Structures are given as C-alpha cells and as structure tokens.
C-alpha cells in the first residue's frame, strides 16, 4: 500500500477551507491510468492512497474513511471490482463515500451502468489516462457529489444538537405544517412528537393570554422573510399556559423561497407546573425520550403508549381502544411491540409511507419471517426442490399406507459390540491416516477405508482425547470407547451419505472450529464438550430419508414427534436413551446433576439446530446479534472495546447462537472441503436422494424432490443451488466471525468447478475423460 500526500492536512489553494479530501485508488498494478489519478490527486492537493488488493483496500478504507474511492473495473482477472464495492458499501459510514468505477472504453455499443449502480458505485469513469482529464473528474466530484455528501453528513450532527438542546424547538413547512419537535419541546409542552407531526400550527390549541392580534402580526413578519422575536404564551397539553421567549426564523430554500420556519422557545419561569399529573406527564415524556435516544428521530420515533390513545375519528378511536387493551396485557412478544409501533407510525405518515407500512405489517404477520421467498418452480427447480425437501415437513398423504421405519431397525446395545480398543492400541496404519486430523484438508475417506467403515470411533477417541473430554466428564477411557462404539453402531452403514463417516466428518469440522480464536473466546469448556458430543450423535439412526418423506409416509417417528423436527428429535432422544441405558457406556454417570442438565440442554439444542426449517432464523440471529455488533465495535474503536467484545461473545444468549452456528456449519461444510472431498460428498448425497425418489415412486408417495431423479438430475445444478441458497451467506457470516480464509477459497473453487460442468451442460460429478 502506498500513500502520496503533502505535509499539510489543510487546503492552501483557496478551493475550500477545512480538511483535505482523501482519495483511495484501487489498482492491482501500476499503469498509466493509476498514475494519471495519482498525479491528478497531487495537482488537486488531495491526500491519495494506492491499494493493490481488495483486502488492503478494505483495511485502508476502514482506517481512513476516504471521501472518494476509485476502483479499477477493467481487469476481472486481478480482483472482482463489484464485490469490493459491495464490501465497502456494507460498512455503515460508506453512505457518504463516492465510489467510481474505471471501465474500459467500449469497443462497440455503450454498456448499461445499472450493474455498477446495483453494486454500489456512484458513477463510471471511462478509461482516460490524461492527467488533466483525471484532475477534472476529481474536481467535479469534489464540487458536486462529495460536497453534497458532506452536507448530508453534517445533518446528522445538526439533528444530534437539536435532540440535546434544552430549548424547545419546532420546525414547520412553508405552509406551517409541523415537521419536527425536539425532546425539550415534548417535555415542556407535554405533547408526544407523534401527536403534532403533520398537523398545521393553527390546529394546535392556543393560549387565551396572548393579545388577539399577536399571531397575525407574527405571521405578517415571518412571511416577509424577517425573523420575529418576543414573548409568547404557549398552551400545554394539560391546558396550562407557559410564558416563553420565542424566536421564529424563516429558512430560505430552493428557488429563493421560504421553505421552513424554525421556532426556538425558552420558558421564562418554572411556575407553570400546576399539578402533579402534569409533572408526571412530563417525567414520562422525558423518560421515554431517553430510552429512545438511539433511534433516528428524523423518522419520528414514537412511544406506543401515547400514540395508541389518540385519534381524530371514530374508527381511529375504536382501533386505539383495542390497542390500549393489548398494551395493558402483561405478556407482550417483541414482534407485537414492533407491529404496534408501526401501526402508530402510520397515523402521522404520508399516504405512500402508510401504504408501504401496510406491506411491512403484512410481511411481519406471516410465520416464516426468516425464510427467503422463492420465485416460481420454473425459475429454479433445483433450489425449489431442495427447499421443499429440506425445509418442510412434507405433504400429508391421505391413504392409510404407512412407512414402518422404527420396527425395521432394532437399536444396537452395548452387549452386542466387540471389546473396546484403547487409544494406545490403534493400529499403525489407522494412526497414520489420522496424523493430520487437525488440518481442515484431512481426508475422512482414507480413514473410512482404513477402519472398514468405523471412522467415528477412531477419530472420536483421538479428538476427545485432545480436548480432554474424559477428564471433564470424569469418566474412564473405557466408558468413552464403549460409548463411541455403540453410537457408531447405531448409524446405518447402508446409507450412502447419512452414515458414521458423515458423523465423523461433522465431528472433525466441529473440532476444527472449536480451535478458532474467536470461538475459544466465546465458549466455555462445557460448551466445547457439548459441541463434540452433539456432532457425534447428531444423525444417529438416520434412515437415509428426509423429514418430508417420513411425514408423507406416516412413519411411526413422524407420528411420535407430530411431524415436527422428526429426525432431529429422534437423534437427540435416542442418543440419550442408548447412553444412559447401560453404565458401561454412560459417559454422563459421574457428572453433578445441574452440570448434567446444562450439558444435556446444550446437546439437544445443537442437534435440533441442524434441522433445516429454521436455517435462516439461526443465520439471521447470529448476524444481527453477533456479527453486526462486533463490526460496529471494530469500526468505532476507542476505549473499552475489548470489554465490549467480550460481553458480546460471552453473553449466555450469544453463546447459544455461536454453538448453533458452529454445528450447522460443520453439518453442511462439504462445499467448503477440498475439491475431491467435495465431489465425493456430492455423489453420496445425490445417491441418497435418488434412492428416496425411487422409493417414493415405488410406494406411490408424493415425490418431494422431483429433480433428484437418477435418470435426469444435473448434479452440478443441484450443488450450485445448494451453495447459492444455503451455503454462501451462512459461511460468509461464519468466516466473518471465526476467520476461515481456507474454507472460503475451497468454496470459491468448488463453485467454479460446478459452474464449469454446468456451462458444458454436463450432469455428472466429473467431466468425461479426454
């Protein structure tokens, strides 16, 4: 990263007063165009920084908050300019930054700028290395968009000052419709902001103590563009009059006309509070304002308790009386509060805003708040079928034909198993395959082959030993070995995907994530042990069929669990049943009661989190409760940041979210594995889905995922849809938290691999031999 600037931070050429503009140039290589902008910055006396990679560019931007960012969009082989622009726009303060894309000179017809605008660019610059052309571009930006952004930025400071002012401030439009009042106004006059917004000044009750012609003389003065100052009696909401020193200033705006009036009122004494009830109104008003101070008051932050009791017509009053009863209830869900606030906000909103809020309310009242809405099946049948198969509990079948699953598979008991082996007795060839088990690129399939399809027991012994699980649980290694064996015996080796190799793979990913610094900062030892156990048991006794299939078939499990999280409930329940059934494998037998209950709850919660119907809920909660607050702290910096980070990471609620996200990512991490492993897993899951479709057709059941027909399915398309819909956003969030560049690189490589096959119209796992 290079930085070019002069010593003085302030302009000396008379262009403007104040700090010099900061420009960030992002060019992978130095060329005439990057030099043109560098020299233009020197000529314009702008502080200029040059970054060569997206990573260094983002780091520099976060540090210096540039006014202008110029990104080279001409060479996609170096970096993705649009992705970098989106990354910058994801930062909260970037709304005041002007971002320019340098594009190639069009050879034929002019290209649309819409993709650039969609990515977040402010404007396009067609390549021209002439220094004067670059200079003119920067100066035009400086005198246009940059200054406009500075004014907008200043507005935030102005409104902050208004909010803190001890004087009552009222702003009206040219037609004297009230547009804003500050907290001091609310406190002094006893009104809530929402009761005044949108009303004409003349509609607000006036005090009889003013002279009859005073209002007329005030209006006559200010309409001429002159400021009025004098003594005026205002009428409070409770009917009392308050004597004020008032200054009203007309504000000239577009077209040289008066566009606003600003009134600043200061009470002349404190003898206006005549009764306790008015005191209480004001005290409540002040308290409410303090509690809402983090909101953007320009949008009219409203207090529901006050807004729900007012109304100008009968229907409004009826609505408010109903709302008042709701507010008197002692139990109120957060979503109810949100809906009530929006209802109240509609009262003072213009018609287009009120209509938009109606649509918002419509969405909020649906049950699936966290699930994206897909288009029609024709748009993306693969995604649609994956969602149908993984995120629903199936269609109800009306015939009496039931899929008898539970009776077919008696559960293995410890007595049926071979003698447990010791960690020290692991055969050398198996030990050798596990030498690099701490690496993300560890090949689980080599271990599966070396252990004759018993990878979970062997990997479990090594991983649990590394994390000191026996010591934590106060159990012997023999008990742990017996437990691992009985759990593995209850996985179905006949399943092509959901077998003990998948469980071992998820255990490996879980152990890998637990070693990441952020995760270690967040979780306690009991969380780590719970995560390893949950990963080990999370798919135990999986029948190789989806929840939708079991519900449609009317299986005993679906009936037992009321068609809700059928498999996940079964995995968790069975894991505890077979663990505590026999002391020889009861790893929990020596735990203290309360600690066991905490452990059990954590394991159940994590296993249930692998159910896909709540996928987006888990991801969104993680992003909103953890990623965004951490990002805000990193942006702001300052004292106490370390303590604030710690409080975010270690709060009980957030630790639960971290554990859920961890096991979810471990469970579906196949697309983030090295390519050969990714291909093998894709083949296995496809075969399991093909087998389900075959059975659905044989039994006359609804076909849950029609695209997974072994004769017609495009495996590359199914992988692309899965990555696009489920994987990308989740792993972006997890990577932002845990720092996993190697996984993201594999994900990128694998996605390109599947895309390449799909572009060649291939349906197979691999291209045909040359």
Residues 6+ apart with CB under 8 A from 358: 346
Cα R_g (the chain), whole angstroms: 33
Q: Is the CB of residue 274 less than 8 Å from the CB of residue 311?
A: no
Least confident of 320-329, 617-626, 642-651: 320-329
Residue 347 is inside which H or E element, if any? helix 334-347
Higher-pLDDT residue of 312 and 266 is 266
Confidence band for 512, pLDDT divided at 50, 70 and 90: very high
The pair of structure tokens assigned to 4 is: 């070019």
DSSP secondary structure string for all residues of 293-330: TTS-GGG----HHHHTT--SSHHHHHHHHHHHHHHT-S
Confidence band for 420, pLDDT divided at 50, 70 and 90: very low
pLDDT for residue 149 is more than 80: no
Instruction: Find tokens 């291909």 and name the residue.
Output: 679
Task: Report H helices in 468-581.
Answer: 469-473, 477-489, 500-514, 517-522, 525-537, 547-553, 556-560, 566-580
pTM of the predicted model, to two decimals? 0.56
Give me the pLDDT at residue 373, please: 54
The pair of structure tokens assigned to 372 is: 């994206």
pLDDT for residue 324 is more than 60: no
Tens digits of residue pLDDT in 193-242: 888 888 888 888 888 888 878 888 898 888 888 889 989 998 888 888 88
Tens digits of residue pLDDT in 465-477: 999 999 999 999 9
How many CA atoms within 13 Å lie on the side-chain side of 371?
16
| Distance (Å, whole) CA 40 – CA 32 | 12
Binding residue ranges for AMP? 498-502, 539, 667, 719
Give me the pLDDT at residue 13, please: 38
Tens digits of residue pLDDT in 279-291: 333 333 333 333 3
Higher-pLDDT residue of 73 and 161 is 73
DSSP state of 416: G
Give me the pLDDT at residue 109, please: 77
| Distance (Å, whole) CA 689 – CA 695 | 10
Cα distances (Å, whole numbers) of residue 455 to 378, 424, 449, 462:
41, 16, 8, 11
pLDDT for residue 400 is more than 60: no
Q: Is 162 helix (H, G, I), strand (E, B) or coil?
A: helix
| Distance (Å, whole) CA 26 – CA 88 | 12
- What average pLDDT is seen over the chain? 82
Least confident of 232-241, 326-335, 507-516: 326-335
Give me the pLDDT at residue 499, please: 97
Active site residues: 498
**Mean pLDDT value of segment 415-423:** 49
Residues 6+ apart with CB under 8 A from 50: 1, 2, 3, 4, 24, 25, 26, 27, 30, 34, 38
Instruction: Find tokens 């100008």 and name the residue.
Output: 312
The pair of structure tokens assigned to 60 is: 């520099």
Residues 6+ apart with CB under 8 A from 103: 73, 74, 111, 116, 124, 125, 126, 127
Higher-pLDDT residue of 385 and 59 is 59
Give me the pLDDT at residue 641, please: 81
Tens digits of residue pLDDT in 726-743: 999 999 999 999 999 999
Angle at 442 between CA 439 and CA 448, to 5 degrees: 145
Binding residue ranges? 498-502, 538-539, 667, 719
Give me the pLDDT at residue 298, please: 31
Tens digits of residue pLDDT in 339-364: 777 777 776 777 778 778 877 876 76
């Amino acid at each position: 990263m290079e930085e070019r600037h002069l010593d003085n931070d302030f302009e000396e050429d008379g262009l403007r007063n104040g700090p010099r503009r900061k420009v960030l140039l992002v060019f992978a290589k130095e060329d005439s165009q990057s030099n043109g902008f560098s020299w233009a910055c020197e000529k314009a006396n702008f502080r200029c920084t040059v970054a060569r990679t997206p990573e260094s560019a983002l780091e520099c931007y976060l540090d210096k908050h540039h006014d202008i960012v110029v990104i080279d969009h001409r060479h996609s082989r170096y970096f993705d300019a649009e992705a970098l622009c989106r990354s910058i726009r994801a930062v909260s303060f970037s709304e005041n930054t002007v971002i320019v894309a340098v594009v190639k000179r069009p050879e034929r017809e002019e290209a649309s700028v819409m993709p650039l605008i969609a990515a977040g660019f402010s404007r396009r610059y067609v390549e021209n290395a002439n220094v004067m052309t670059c200079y003119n571009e920067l100066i035009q930006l400086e005198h246009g968009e940059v200054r406009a952004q500075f004014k907008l930025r200043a507005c935030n400071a102005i409104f902050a000052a208004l909010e803190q002012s001890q004087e009552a401030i009222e702003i009206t439009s040219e037609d004297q419709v009230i547009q804003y009042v500050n907290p001091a106004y609310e406190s002094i006059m006893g009104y809530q902001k929402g009761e005044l917004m949108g009303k004409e000044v003349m509609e607000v009750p006036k005090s009889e103590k003013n002279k009859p012609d005073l209002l007329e003389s005030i209006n006559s003065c200010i309409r001429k563009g002159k400021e009025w100052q004098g003594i005026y009696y205002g009428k409070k909401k409770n009917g009392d009059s308050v004597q004020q020193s008032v200054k009203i200033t007309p504000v000239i705006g577009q077209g040289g006309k008066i566009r606003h009036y600003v009134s600043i009122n200061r009470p002349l004494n404190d003898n206006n509070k005549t009764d306790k009830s008015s005191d209480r109104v004001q005290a409540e008003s002040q308290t409410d304002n303090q509690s809402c101070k983090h909101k953007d008051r320009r949008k009219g932050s409203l207090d529901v308790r006050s807004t729900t009791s007012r109304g100008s017509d009968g229907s409004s009053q009826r609505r408010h009386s109903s709302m008042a009863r709701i507010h008197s209830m002692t139990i109120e869900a957060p979503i109810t509060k949100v809906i009530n606030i929006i209802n109240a906000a509609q009262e003072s909103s213009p018609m287009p805003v009120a209509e938009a809020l109606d649509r918002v309310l419509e969405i909020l009242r649906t049950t699936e708040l966290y699930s994206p809405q897909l288009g029609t099946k024709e748009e993306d049948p693969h995604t649609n079928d994956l969602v149908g198969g993984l995120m629903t509990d199936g269609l109800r079948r009306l015939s009496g034909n039931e899929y008898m699953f539970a009776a077919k598979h008696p559960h293995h008991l410890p007595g049926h198993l071979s003698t447990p082996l010791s960690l020290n007795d692991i055969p050398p060839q198996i030990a050798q395959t596990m030498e690099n088990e701490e690496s993300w690129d560890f090949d689980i399939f080599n271990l599966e082959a070396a252990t004759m399809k018993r990878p979970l027991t062997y990997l479990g012994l090594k991983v649990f030993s590394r994390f000191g699980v026996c010591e934590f649980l106060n159990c012997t290694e023999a008990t742990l070995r017996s437990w691992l064996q009985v759990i593995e015996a209850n996985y179905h080796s006949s399943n092509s995907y959901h077998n003990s190799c998948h469980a071992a793979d998820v255990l490996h990913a879980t152990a890998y994530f637990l070693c990441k610094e952020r995760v270690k900062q967040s979780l306690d030892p009991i969380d780590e042990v719970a995560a390893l156990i949950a990963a080990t048991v999370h798919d135990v006794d999986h029948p190789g069929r989806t929840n939708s299939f079991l519900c449609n078939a009317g299986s005993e499990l679906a009936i037992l669990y009321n068609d809700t999280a059928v498999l996940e409930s079964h995995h968790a329940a069975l894991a505890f049943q077979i663990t505590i059934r026999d002391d020889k494998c009861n790893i929990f037998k020596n735990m203290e009661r309360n600690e066991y209950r905490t452990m059990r709850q954590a394991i159940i919660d994590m296993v249930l989190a692998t159910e896909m119907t709540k996928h987006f809920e888990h991801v969104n909660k993680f992003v909103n409760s953890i990623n965004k607050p951490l990002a805000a702290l990193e942006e702001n910096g300052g004292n106490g940041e370390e303590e604030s980070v710690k409080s975010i990471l270690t709060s009980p609620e957030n630790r639960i979210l971290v554990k859920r996200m961890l096991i979810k990512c471990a469970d579906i991490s196949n697309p983030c594995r090295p390519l050969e492993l990714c291909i093998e897993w894709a083949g296995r899951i496809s075969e399991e889905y093909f087998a389900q479709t075959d059975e659905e057709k044989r039994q006359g059941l609804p076909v849950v995922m029609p695209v997974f027909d072994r004769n017609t399915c495009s495996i590359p398309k199914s992988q692309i849809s899965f990555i696009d819909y489920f994987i990308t956003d989740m792993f972006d969030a997890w990577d932002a938290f845990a720092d996993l560049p190697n996984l993201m690189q594999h994900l990128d490589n694998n996605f390109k691999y599947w895309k390449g096959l799909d572009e060649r119209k291939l349906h197979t796992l691999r291209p045909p031999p040359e």
